[in-house]
Amino acid sequence: MFKLENVTLSFDNLKVLTDFNLASQGHEFISILGPSGVGKTCILNILAGLLKPQAGLVSVTSLRTGYVFQEPRLIPWCTVEENMTLGLYGLKITKAERTARINKLLDKLSLNNFARYYPGQLSGGMKQRVALGRAFAVEPDLLLMDEPFSSLDENLRQAMRELLKSLIQWNPCATVFVTHDVREAIQLADRIIVLKGRPCQIVREINVDAGQSGEESYQKNLAEIILQESL
């Protein structure tokens, strides 16, 4: 789905990436962990085509990309269904197909009764559900997520993780998920990338055992390994 090879990115004298390499393997869920300012969001923006590195190969074979930001970034004068429809106008699908696709997502997100609400009328969790719907409306091959649940309380975060899993099961896609939450990364990911340094380097890659990722003891042991790498 994507490949970054020997990618270099800097802002004036600030080196963010130097000869950085990362590639996805099919519909893989990759979680990226690392301290603030290490370059996690820059990697997402390079994959989205929003940033152009000074050197290296960027290959993204996905036809459709969905992006969920840390803040929902909804258009305040558009309703829930209008916000979710925004990415569809560039696709060659009929109005009936757009309507059917959005109605299906409204149902999956339990937003049927809020389709004509405006962002200012929604809670934080509902806004982020709308943002998820907007990303999945394009039926993405590649999903980029930048700490999308960080502003929510833990109970709501857990509910959103389960919702995300169900959406990916419905629409399989390669996913790159940036987070500071080690246990969140373990619960969601097939592979965890740990970043450190400036310019940032991958200091650890961990393949997560899906059969154990929900178990407290497995999460604790793996979290200890990751935290040791982060020191």
CATH code (residue 56): 3.40.50.300
Name the pLDDT band for 230 (thresholds 50, 70, 90). low
Share of the chain above pLDDT 70, in %: 99
Within its chain, how far is the Cα of 208 from the centroid?
Answer: 17
Q: Is 70 a member of any domain?
A: no
Higher pLDDT, 229 or 71: 71
Comparing CA positions, the residue from 84, 89, 64 lying closest to residue 140 is: 64
In a domain, 213, yes or no: yes
216 located within any domain: yes
Interval 11-53: pLDDT, tens: 998 999 999 999 998 999 999 999 988 999 999 999 999 999 9
The β-bridge partners of 176 are 30, 144
Give the separation between CA 175 and CA 212, rounded to whole angstroms: 20
pLDDT band at 209; cut points 50, 70, 90: confident
Q: Is residue 193 part of a domain?
A: yes
- 138: in domain: no
- Domain for residue 146, yes or no? no
State which residues form the domain around 223. 2-62+173-230
Residue 224 within a domain: yes
**Is 145 a residue whose pLDDT tops 70?**
yes
- The pLDDT score that the predictor gives to residue 220 is 87
| Residue 55: count of CB within 10 angstroms of its CB | 12
- pTM (whole model) above 0.75: yes
Q: What percent of the chain has pLDDT over 90?
A: 81
Q: What is the mean pLDDT of residues 48-60?
A: 95
| pLDDT exceeds 60 at position 231 | no
Residue 157 belongs to a domain: no
Q: Residue 87 in contact with residue 93, Cβ under 8 Å?
A: no
Which has more pLDDT, 225 or 162?
162
Burial of 203 (0-12, 13-18, 19+ CB in 10 A): middle
Kindly give the pairing relationship between strand 65-68 and strand 174-178. Answer: unpaired
Q: What is the pLDDT averaged over residues 128-149?
A: 96
Give per-residue pLDDT as tens, 68-112.
999 999 999 999 999 999 999 888 889 999 999 999 999 999 999
**3-state per-residue secondary structure call for the chain:** CEEEEEEEEEECCEEEEEEEEEECCCCCEEEEECCCCCCHHHHHHHHHCCCCCCEEEEEECCCCEEEECCCCCCCCCCCHHHHHHHHHCCCCCCHHHHHHHHHHHHHHCCCHHHCCCCHHHCCHHHHHHHHHHHHHHCCCCEEEEECCCCCCCHHHHHHHHHHHHHHHHHCCCEEEEECCCHHHHHHHCCEEEEEECCCEEEEEEEECCCCCCCCHHHHHHHHHHHHHHHC
Q: In angstroms, what CA-CA distances link 168 with 43, 66, 93, 164, 230?
A: 21, 12, 22, 6, 29
Give me the number of domains the chain comprises: 1
How sure is the predictor about 176, in pLDDT bands with cuts at 50, 70 and 90?
A: very high
Q: Indicate if the pLDDT at residue 225 is higher than 90.
A: no
- Binned at pLDDT 50, 70 and 90, residue 174 comes out as very high
